[in-house]
A and B are shown apart, each in its own frame.
Chain A
Amino acid sequence: MGLLADAAAGDIRSLARILTLLESRDPIGLAALDRFYPSSGAAHRIGITGPPGAGKSSLIDHLVRSYRALDRKVAVVAVDPSSRSSGGATLGDRIRLLDHHADANVYVRSLASRGQRGGLSAATIDVAHVLDAVGFDPILIESMGVGQDEIDISRFVDTTILVQVPGLGDAVQTLKAGIMEIGEIIAVNKADRPGAAALVRDLRGMVALGHPPQAEFETWLPVVIPVSATTGDGIAKLMESLANHSTFLRESDQLSLRRKNAAFAEVEFLIRADLERRLTQEPHADFSQMIEAIAGRRLSPRAALDQARHQI
């Protein structure tokens, strides 16, 4: 059999190879995506995002264990940043997910961002489509460690878990636009550390401000859950909220709405990635003379744009 049939039949080696080809934008990988895509869509796609070191991978480890206890077939896709100078990457999320190595129903794949901004790599969602098509459900997608405004992931998944930790600022941080606006579930990890109770209180206050009790029917009120990846405290509540949100999506029109929004976001994302790739790689996009002129103060960056437009 070929890669495609083998992967569909559950062969992990073929699946892993297809994902590599997809990640490389190899025509074989892209053809595989086209073939798998119609069979995808059944899985609950869960995004996990938050600052570096917040405990995203460690929480995912707990979620994997909990979903396995429910006999679900779980995939994890974890993104770490690529170096902008060398193109290389150190992918270290797997180190928190080693306990499941003997379990054939857990698949973990590490991806490098490969120059993509926003928390995911260009191929991350494609990888999720393939994993979805071959029967993994849920699919847990871990973004890179993010700061204030990398909210891409929330556009592509069904449920976003925003992981926050105490010690990174005061209540004003919870009022800022950007990442604080995403997250159907906000997990306050390291809840055993000082400041966690105050952060939970501030976040609940923030959520309540945005969602007055009179809000229209069928909206989801983000839930704030203190958890500890070290002790496992709060994981049961996290699982309960994930199930609740999944039910909420399926029993309202929200799932189809979200999936349509995700499709739109995906097309936009792909076009943007394609443009960026062309900008940096097409032979005609040689900006070296222009760069010299700008650095030598002979040309302003603004004026250079007019020139660049002709070259692209």
Chain B
Amino acid sequence: MNDLQQSSADVSTAPGRSIRVLIAKPGLDGHDRGARVLARAMRDAGFEVIYTGLFQTPEMIATAALQEDVDVVGLSILSGAHMSLFPRIMAELTARRLDDILVIAGGTIPDDDVATLNGLGVAAVFGPGTSLRDIVSFIRANAPVRRDEL
């Protein structure tokens, strides 16, 4: 058992909600090592991770988030196109009334852009060197708690 894992035994049969995370790579960069490492870390943290892989358009990401009813969208980007792609992703999520989803981002995003992205609704930007534990903790602390009625 590594340090990301939960301590309680046999959580796999537990009913109740599991945190569902969509991990997507928007745009045209073909490097998904980071996204895969994150998908694995989140699995080990007890999250259900929907991994959609490379070359995702904003529409594809928003549709997957909608159909899968995820709590969290994690965007991994290394191409430098975040300032053009992220506003479109946020707009597509809003168009589908998915504003309560926690959106986080990682990859090569300059510090100067972070405030702007936060303003768009990206809750956190995790740069190179961030520990996986910090990302997992952030999700645990900030994933939306939903109250549903029939």
**Interface set of A (CB-CB < 8 Å, partner B):** 2-4, 12-13, 16-17, 19-21, 24-26, 28, 31-32, 35, 82-92, 94-95, 98, 101-102, 107-110, 112, 114-115, 276-277, 280-281
Please report which residues of chain B, range 58-77, place their CB below 8 angstroms from some CB of chain A when the two chains form the complex: 59-60, 63-64, 66-69
Q: Which of B11-19, B102-110, B116-124, B127-135 contacts A (4 or more CB under 8 A)?
A: B11-19
The closest CB in chain A to the CB of B51 belongs to A92
Complex Cα–Cα for A278 and B22 (A): 31
| Contact with A87, one of B46, B60, B149 (Cβ below 8 angstroms) | B46
Q: Say whether B45 contacts A20, CB under 8 Å.
A: no
Task: Decide: A94 and B68 in contact? CB cutoff 8 A.
Answer: yes
A108 to B146, CA, bound (A): 22
Judge whether B10 and A12 touch: CB under 8 Å.
no
Report how far A73 CA is from B122 CA in the complex, Å. Answer: 34
Q: List 11 A-B contacts (CB under 8 A).
A: A20-B17, A85-B1, A88-B42, A89-B43, A90-B40, A90-B43, A91-B48, A95-B53, A98-B56, A109-B67, A114-B18
B23 to chain A, nearest CB (A): 9
Given contacts A86-B43, A88-B43, 11 further A-B contacts (CB under 8 A): A16-B66, A26-B17, A28-B150, A83-B12, A85-B12, A86-B46, A87-B14, A88-B44, A91-B50, A112-B48, A281-B14
Secondary structure of the A contact surface, majority rule: mixed
Which residues of the partner chain B approach A31 to less than 8 Å between Cβ atoms?
A: 150
By beta carbon, the residue of chain A nearest B49 is A90
Q: How many interface contacts (CB-CB < 8 Å) are there between A and B?
A: 135
In the A-B complex, the 7 residue pairs with the smallest Cβ-Cβ separation, listed nearest first, are A115-B13, A87-B11, A16-B69, A88-B43, A115-B12, A25-B15, A101-B63
B→A interface (CB under 8 Å)? 1, 4-6, 10-18, 20, 39-40, 42-53, 56-57, 59-60, 63-64, 66-69, 96-98, 146, 148-150
Q: List chain A residues, Cβ under 8 A from B59.
A: 101-102
CB contacts (< 8 Å) of A25 on chain B: these are 15-16
Bound-state CA distance A92–B5 (Å) is 21
* A85 touching B5, Cβ below 8 Å: yes
B13, B47, B68, B149 — which one has the most chain A CB atoms within 10 A of its CB?
A: B13
Pairwise interchain contact A17-B69, C-beta atoms closer than 8 A = yes
Cβ-defined contact, B45 with A4, below 8 A: no
**Cβ contact within 8 Å between B14 and A90:** no
Q: How far is the CA of A112 from the CA of B14 in the complex (A)?
A: 12
Taking CB atoms, residues of chain B closer than 8 Å to A110 are: 48, 50, 68
Q: B11 — which chain A residues lie within 8 A by C-beta? A: 86-87
Partner of B13, one of A35, A89, A107, A280: A280
Residues in B whose Cβ lies below 8 Å from that of A3? 148-150
A13 / chain B contacts, CB cutoff of 8 Å: 66, 69, 96-98
Give A92 to B57 CA distance when docked, in angstroms: 18
Given the contacts A83-B43, A88-B48, A89-B48, A24 and B16 also touching, CB distance less than 8 Å? yes
Closest residue of chain A to B42 (Cβ to Cβ) is A88
Residues of A within 8 A of B10 (CB): 84, 115, 280
Question: In the complex, what residues of B have CB within 8 A of residue A2's CB?
Answer: 149-150
A89 touches B44 (CB 8 A): no
Tell me if A98 and B52 are in contact (CB < 8 A): yes
Question: In whole angstroms, how far apart are the Cα atoms of A101 and B6 in the complex?
Answer: 34
**CB closest chain-B residue, reference A112:** B48
- Determine the chain B residues whose CB is within 8 A of the CB of A87 once the complex forms: 6, 11-12, 14, 18, 46
B15, A277: Cβ atoms under 8 Å? yes
Interface centre among B1, B43, B47, B59 (most CB of A within 10 A): B43
Interchain CA distance A193-B131 in the complex, whole Å: 43
Q: Given the known A-B contacts A13-B97, A16-B66, are A90 and B39 also in contact in the complex, defined by CB atoms under 8 Å?
A: yes
